[in-house]
Amino acid sequence: MGKILVTGGSGLLGTYLKKNLPKAIYISSKDYDLTSEKDVIKLFKNSKFDRVIHLAARVGGVHHNIQEPVKYFEENILMNTLLIKHSYKNNVKRFLGVLSSCIYPDKIKKYPIKENLLFSGEPHKSLFPYSYAKRSMALQIDSYNQKFKTKYNYIIPCNLYGEFDKFGEIQGHFVGALIDKILKAKKNKKKSIKLFGDGSPMRQFMHARDLAKVISIIIKKNMTESFNIATSENYSVKKIANIALQACEFENTKLIFDRSMPNGQLRKDIDIKKLKRLIPRFKPILLKDGIREIYLKKKEGI
């Protein structure tokens, strides 16, 4: 496998990946500012790498994306562009970029969404800056492969969750924020929880630990294909909330939907036929079991 660099090493996905690829070098924003070309040059000057797994990103929920569009565009576009540029300049043989299913077009005639539809329309307006920055990484990787015959690739995962996620209502992702709301409601003996939107959007959620397993397989098998990664579970936000209430032993709680807040993209489920062909034995944890596991750990203060 050679010497591996992993950016975003202290994040949700990076924390899980350490268990699968313990010998890799993991860096975070405390080590290098990847939006600074000076720092990126310094990174590659300090060490030589055979592979780069690029996890680092400015990420957050829909509402924080709406609040901070400049940060989500500029920070991601700079990190991605500089990492790929200087990976190539420093003879990195394999580069794996991690994108997101939100970069797919908002208007699609047929679901689930296949990989070849990535550039067939605009992404949802609520995530425009983040989505276009991530799309640009796919385009840059494809361009380097075309021009320089590199074997760089990217994966497009669905929404993630995990015990190392951000759990705040604004900056956190939906499942993490939902578990946090349930814990606080139980502690304060409330009989209801409020969620943004009307509960109708459809979502796929994968435990970040499972995505880390897939990444380790990609590296160990030296795979160079780009493809979607998700579970076959595709539920409405309302159903996910009810699954979480049951998993967190809070079934009799009333769900209140704040319809004054935006829903975000109504549907973005992605096709996983290529994933099943490439890694046929991969079996992700069920959403109800993953939420239950995280709930119990947070409840116990682990």
User: Is 130 noted as a catalytic residue in this protein?
Assistant: yes
- Structure tokens given for 170: 């604004």
Catalytic residue among 16, 26, 130, 295: 130
pLDDT bracket for residue 172 (50, 70, 90)? low
**H or E segment to which residue 253 belongs:** none
65, 106 Cβ separation under 8 angstroms? no
The predicted pLDDT at position 170 comes to 52
- Tell whether pTM > 0.75: yes
Residue 295 has pLDDT above 80, yes or no: yes
> Which residues make beta-bridge pairs with 274?
none
The predicted pLDDT at position 157 comes to 98
Percent of the chain whose pLDDT exceeds 90? 82
Q: Mean pLDDT, the chain, as a whole number?
A: 93
- Tell me which of 3.40.50.300, 3.40.50.2300, 3.90.25.10, 3.40.50.150 is the CATH number of domain 167-202+234-267+286-299: 3.90.25.10
Q: Could you report the per-residue pLDDT of 81-124, keeping only the tens digit for each?
A: 999 999 999 999 999 999 999 999 999 989 999 999 999 999 99
Locate the domains of the chain by residue range.
4-160+204-229, 167-202+234-267+286-299
| Alpha-carbon radius of gyration of the chain | 19
**H or E segment to which residue 154 belongs:** strand 153-157
- Structure tokens given for 73: 């565009």
Percent of the chain whose pLDDT exceeds 70? 96
pLDDT mean over 286-290: 98
What b/e readout covers 34-44, taking b as 16+ CB neighbours within 10 angstroms? bbeeeebeebb
The predicted pLDDT at position 164 comes to 86
Residue 68 class from Cβ within 10 Å (0-12 exposed, 13-18 middle, 19+ buried)?
middle
Q: Could you report the per-residue pLDDT of 189-235, keeping only the tens digit for each?
A: 999 999 989 999 999 999 999 999 999 999 999 999 999 999 999 99
> Cβ contacts of residue 256 below 8 Å, gap of 6+?
192, 193, 194, 195
The predicted pLDDT at position 265 comes to 86
- Domain 4-160+204-229 listed as CATH 3.30.1370.160: no
pLDDT bracket for residue 302 (50, 70, 90)? very low
Residue 169 has pLDDT above 60, yes or no: no
The predicted pLDDT at position 59 comes to 82
